[in-house]
Structure 1
Amino acid sequence: MIRVENIRKTYQMGEVEVRALDGVSLTVEQGEYVAIVGASGSGKSTLMHILGLLDVPDAGVFEINNTDVTKFSENQLAEFRNRIMGFVFQQFNLLKRTSALENVGLPLIYARNGKKSDVPDKMLDLVGLQDRKSHHTNELSGGQQQRVAIARALVNNPQIIFADEPTGNLDSKSAKEIMQVMSELHARGLTIILVTHDANVANHAQRIIEIKDGKIVSDAPNPTAPAVPKMGVVEEPDVRGSGFGLQSLFEGLTLVKQSIRSLNANKVRTALSALGIMIGVAAVIATVAVGNGAKAAVEEQMSQLGSNLLMLMPQRRSRGGVRQAQGSVSRLSLADAEAIRTEVDNVVKVSSTVDGNAQLKAGNLNWSCRISGVDPDYESMRSYQPQLGRFFTDEEVNSRAMVCVLGVTPVRELFDGANPVGQQVKINRRSFTVIGVLPEKGSAGFRDYDDTAFVPSSTAMRRLFGKDYVDRIEIQIDKPHQMERAQTDILTLLEMRHRTASGTFEIRNLAEIQDAVSETSNVMSLLLSSIASIALVVGGIGIMNIMLVSVTERTREIGLRKALGARGSDIMSQFLIEALIISFFGGCLGIALGAGVGYAAQRFANMTVLFTHESIYMAFGFSALIGILFGIWPARKAALLNPIDALRYE
């Protein structure tokens, strides 16, 4: 079954070379019970580790079942250890905070053969621990722990059992029980290779190999070995899974379960690791929500100004380095507005606008606000349909009627919020009849859009401000894609009417202003999100640091898992899963915290906050990505550990 020829193993201890094995040759037949004995430092454990594929020789021939294993890859060695070999260690090497049943089933995770879940139960029954299956390892005696280790070694139905000082940490009674179990396993047909320095333990074997200074000094049958009747091999057949997908799912769920258990063993450390991710996710969600809210508020305010609007006004000019007022070169008139209405294609509505400030008085109350003279089209262009009363008509504009429509603010200040329709109000000491109340528009920055009053444009020009021109003309175009063409046509028309050169008038496109504001909001949101993402990166560094500590603390566990058949990819997957769980936990808490911060800002700071699914998905996905990226190095470090070096780690 096993053939080694002239194998050598040398360790470098500082500047000194220590030859642990120096030309060892031996064979082991199927069904043999072999004891390897020798003093401490003789090389017997090194030999067993090489035979168990936990270590590799520097030179020599090593065959198992006529297969040269010296050329095997790491994955092939792991598969061989899992499928053909079972290990019983002096230190038991059981996982803490884990039941006996779960310890026994550990090799099945890496077997990839779809073993039935009741196999660990049967193996515990075989070693006499039927009533201790659910007990954790710290609730078992030394002898019982070693029985669990033996059951674990048998769970994959191996061809050979390696036992390294299996009674070294046991009292005499427990040692006797364990050796009885080993003899029974041999009687069932298993090949057993036992390493010990205890002659009484070695006497249970049929063959004793003595090793000294890395060389075999004797290899002979044991005449005093107790006669054990052959009981026949009781094998647990490999029951294949119904499909690769189901088996992969089982392995994945098992790894997740074990990862949660490992993290749960250090709750405070896990929580601190998740804290950085929580803060980062919360910061991203809160800042994006505030940025989206600000953008939505601006868009709402811009939409209240109307859609597809153009604002025509005289161009400012400079003379002698002094910038002059608008209209100092050429001015707009009511006739220009009418010409634009009738002669330019794609124009839907037109309103002349005259602005100024005036003093309003009702009874003994005074209020100063902005007065705008506009045309009836202004109502629908700017969505100013009165909430009470009505807007003025074309007849009232033509007759320079003394009527006005008030905003919410002057209504509150002059009429204490009561319905003012039909009441008289004096504007610059002229009496006006209130015919309507404007809808509430809110404020932006220092400007209150509700602190205004509208009068007919002709009334404002002739009876309030004494102007024979308008400040600007506002124009609504039927379709957005016609805006550019309409601008060109309007400027051409005015240049012809005023006989002026190009550049005398300018047109501002509200859609372009809205796009610019939206773009600015997007940039600010991106900037805030980038700053908040720094917290996520810091959280990822925290995860990496904690995972590196975890790898160091669990080095022996990693060595055990590799001895039981875990591949490097299995170890890497487990640690990556742990990093992802921390990120997931932190991400969930971060979403809750970010939502709380956003709602607090909305309630107490009167800020507009808008949460979107995209921002939540982005923050959560970024946290998962952080977990993977910063978990790769610790996971890879764990995956590259040498099995025997990890098992020897203190």
Structure 2
Amino acid sequence: MGMNPLENFRMAFESLWGNKLRSFLALLGIVIGVFAVTAMISLGQMATAGITQDLEAVAGRSIFVQPNFNEGQDFSSAPIREEDLQALQALPVTVIPQLFTSIQYESKPGERRSMQLQGTPGDLPKLDPTNKIARGRYFTDLEARGGLAVAVLSDRAAKDLFPGREAVGQVARLYYPGGARIDLTVVGVLEPPSGIFGGFGSSATVYTPIQLIWNTSPTARRGEYAFVILPLKKGADAQQVTRQVQRIFESRYGKGKYQVQSTESFQGTLRSVTLILQALLGAIAGLSLLVGGIGIMNIMLVSVTERTREIGLRKALGATSGQIRQQFLIEAVVLTLVGGLLGVVLAAGLLLLITATVPFFKVYILSPTTVFLALAVSALVGLFFGVWPAARAAALDPIEALRYE
């Protein structure tokens, strides 16, 4: 009586179904293992995606140029000049020069506090969409070039300067640390930055035309800027453009005077950190798969002993050792695959729940690769740990087996 694989599958299922509790307990180890591995890897990918999105919301895809403070340079020794901006115009970027200086305001009569005064070109939100207007408007290009006494406030600055009042339309009275006073009409207030990096951007800043700072500040030098933001145009390659920017500044001023960084380089660092975390979490979760595999081997070995008579009978009726081995291997693999599927389904459910409830995880990611890996590993675990019990079953001597009580 030759036995085809289909018959073997049927018998494998019957045997697993006949011992429901035992099969379920063996399954449990695999379910937990696959669930843990799938959930951990996907959470790692979701975290990376969340961080990248938040970074882009705060800084966009941009390149930053500033004096290299690590090398002891500062705004006066390494300013950015008009001709540098001209050279940058040739690249696929928007050129946004900026000036920074400290400014003070009276929080109550006789008491002064500091905030940041930042000079920018007009219509900044058009140039760099990460700046969003909440109320009012941004000063125009014309106002900026004319150096008009207008200002846009960051959300924090509006709360500090005009607590409990609408800032737009008010006049902000500010003092340079040297004593000179400027009165600026507030034309707009920016939205507070969002996401986990929101905290970095929530400084109290007054944005005003660069021309105005050159006209009024005791320290700012006309024609010199402190910092340049270069948002990349669509489809521009961040690494390539970063290298070109670096080349422009190195050919003009030599190495080490200016620091050129891109948001992509921050993302690269973050990615390697999250990858290390993923690998660690995945390895820990993988241990539970190993435990599940050992559980399956145990249960199959018990099953071989229990079914000694059945095996003897099948051999006496003409089943070959190969067929017996095949039946036990099929049982082990079916067990682990069912366990693997259940684990993946549970993980998918948990990830959906997390995406729905935890604001940081915005994107739902369960990659086919992860699912395939989890199932392949669980099937391999079944094969690996099923081999010994199957070999033991196949090696039984039919006559001894039939005598077995």
Common topology (TM > 0.5): yes
Matches within 5 A, 1:248-397: 251-252=5-6, 254-304=7-57, 305-307=59-61, 309-316=62-69, 324=72, 326-327=73-74, 330-333=77-80, 336=81, 338-344=82-88, 345-346=90-91, 348-355=93-100, 372-376=118-122, 378-380=124-126, 382-384=128-130, 386-388=132-134, 389-397=136-144
Distance (whole Å) between structure 2 residues aligned to residue 428 and residue 463 of structure 1: 11
Give, in angstroms, the shift of residue 295 of structure 1. Answer: 0.6
Q: Match of 1:343, as an amino acid? A: A
Of 125, 135, 148 in structure 2, the residue corresponding to residue 401 of structure 1 is 148
Verify the 8 A CA contact 1:351 1:377 in the aligned structure 2: no
Give, in angstroms, the shift of residue 641 of structure 1. Answer: 2.1
Matches within 5 A, 1:9-20: none
Verify the 8 A CA contact 1:378 1:384 in the aligned structure 2: no
| C-alpha spacing 1:264/1:369, structure 2 compared with 1 (3 Å) | farther
Distance (whole Å) between structure 2 residues aligned to residue 604 and residue 360 of structure 1: 42
Of 621, 624, 628 in structure 1, the residue corresponding to residue 376 of structure 2 is 621
Verify the 8 A CA contact 2:249 2:258 in the aligned structure 1: no
Does residue 442 of the first structure (1) align with residue 197 of the second (2)? no
Q: Which residue number corresponds to residue 328 of structure 2?
A: 575
Distance (whole Å) between structure 1 residues aligned to residue 147 and residue 137 of structure 2: 17
| C-alpha spacing 1:281/1:386, structure 2 compared with 1 (3 Å) | same
Distance (whole Å) between structure 2 residues aligned to residue 579 and residue 536 of structure 1: 14
Kindly provide the CA deviation profile for residues 428-457 of structure 1, in whole angstroms up to 9, marking residues without a partner as x. 475544434445641435834355543333
Q: Which residue number corresponds to residue 517 of structure 1?
A: 270
| C-alpha spacing 1:460/1:535, structure 2 compared with 1 (3 Å) | farther
Distance (whole Å) between structure 2 residues aligned to residue 383 and residue 504 of structure 1: 29
Distance (whole Å) between structure 1 residues aligned to residue 245 and residue 75 of structure 2: 25
Q: Which residue number corresponds to residue 404 of structure 2?
A: 649
Give, in angstroms, the shift of residue 351 of structure 1. Answer: 1.7
Give, in angstroms, the shift of residue 296 of structure 1. Answer: 0.7
Distance (whole Å) between structure 2 residues aligned to residue 408 and residue 492 of structure 1: 40
Of 465, 488, 494 in structure 1, the residue corresponding to residue 247 of structure 2 is 488
Does residue 533 of the first structure (1) align with residue 286 of the second (2)? yes
Verify the 8 A CA contact 1:556 1:646 in the aligned structure 2: yes
Of 362, 365, 368 in structure 2, the residue corresponding to residue 611 of structure 1 is 365
Verify the 8 A CA contact 1:354 1:472 in the aligned structure 2: yes
Verify the 8 A CA contact 2:352 2:364 in the aligned structure 1: no
Higher mean Cα deviation, 421-430 or 588-597? 421-430
Matches within 5 A, 1:100-249: 110-111=2-3
> What secondary structure, in the 3-state scheme, does the structure 2 residue paired with 1:447 have?
helix
Q: Which residue number corresponds to residue 424 of structure 1?
A: 170
Distance (whole Å) between structure 2 residues aligned to residue 417 and residue 620 of structure 1: 58
Q: Which residue number corresponds to residue 639 of structure 1?
A: 394
Q: Match of 1:582, as an amino acid? A: L
| C-alpha spacing 1:327/1:587, structure 2 compared with 1 (3 Å) | same
| C-alpha spacing 1:411/1:313, structure 2 compared with 1 (3 Å) | closer
Verify the 8 A CA contact 2:242 2:260 in the aligned structure 1: no
Distance (whole Å) between structure 2 residues aligned to residue 562 and residue 402 of structure 1: 99
Q: Match of 1:276, as an amino acid? A: G
Of 300, 318, 323 in structure 2, the residue corresponding to residue 565 of structure 1 is 318
Verify the 8 A CA contact 1:404 1:433 in the aligned structure 2: yes
Kindly provide the CA deviation profile for residues 319-341 of structure 1, in whole angstroms up to 9, marking residues without a partner as x. xxxxx4x41771314xx1x3123
Q: Name the larger-Rg structure.
A: 1
Distance (whole Å) between structure 2 residues aligned to residue 646 and residue 438 of structure 1: 83
Distance (whole Å) between structure 2 residues aligned to residue 616 and residue 411 of structure 1: 50
RMSD, aligned CA: 3.6
> What secondary structure, in the 3-state scheme, does the structure 2 residue paired with 1:627 have?
helix
Give, in angstroms, the shift of residue 507 of structure 1. Answer: 1.7
| C-alpha spacing 1:486/1:536, structure 2 compared with 1 (3 Å) | same
Distance (whole Å) between structure 1 residues aligned to residue 293 and residue 173 of structure 2: 65
Verify the 8 A CA contact 1:341 1:348 in the aligned structure 2: no
Give, in angstroms, the shift of residue 513 of structure 1. Answer: 2.8
Verify the 8 A CA contact 1:572 1:639 in the aligned structure 2: yes
Structure 2 unpaired stretches of 5+ = 176-181
Does residue 551 of the first structure (1) align with residue 304 of the second (2)? yes
Q: Which residue number corresponds to residue 168 of structure 1?
A: none
> What secondary structure, in the 3-state scheme, does the structure 1 residue paired with 2:93 have?
strand
Distance (whole Å) between structure 2 residues aligned to residue 459 and residue 452 of structure 1: 19
Distance (whole Å) between structure 2 residues aligned to residue 448 and residue 600 of structure 1: 29
More strand per residue: 1
Q: Which residue number corresponds to residue 178 of structure 2?
A: none
TM-score normalized by the length of structure 2: 0.80
| C-alpha spacing 1:280/1:371, structure 2 compared with 1 (3 Å) | farther
| C-alpha spacing 1:432/1:263, structure 2 compared with 1 (3 Å) | farther
Matches within 5 A, 1:25-44: none
Give, in angstroms, the shift of residue 601 of structure 1. Answer: 4.1
Q: Which residue number corresponds to residue 210 of structure 2?
A: 457
| C-alpha spacing 1:520/1:263, structure 2 compared with 1 (3 Å) | same
Distance (whole Å) between structure 2 residues aligned to residue 315 and residue 613 of structure 1: 41
> What secondary structure, in the 3-state scheme, does the structure 1 residue paired with 2:220 have?
coil
| C-alpha spacing 1:537/1:417, structure 2 compared with 1 (3 Å) | farther
> What secondary structure, in the 3-state scheme, does the structure 1 residue paired with 2:69 have?
coil
| C-alpha spacing 1:628/1:373, structure 2 compared with 1 (3 Å) | farther
Aligned length: 385
TM-score normalized by the length of structure 1: 0.52
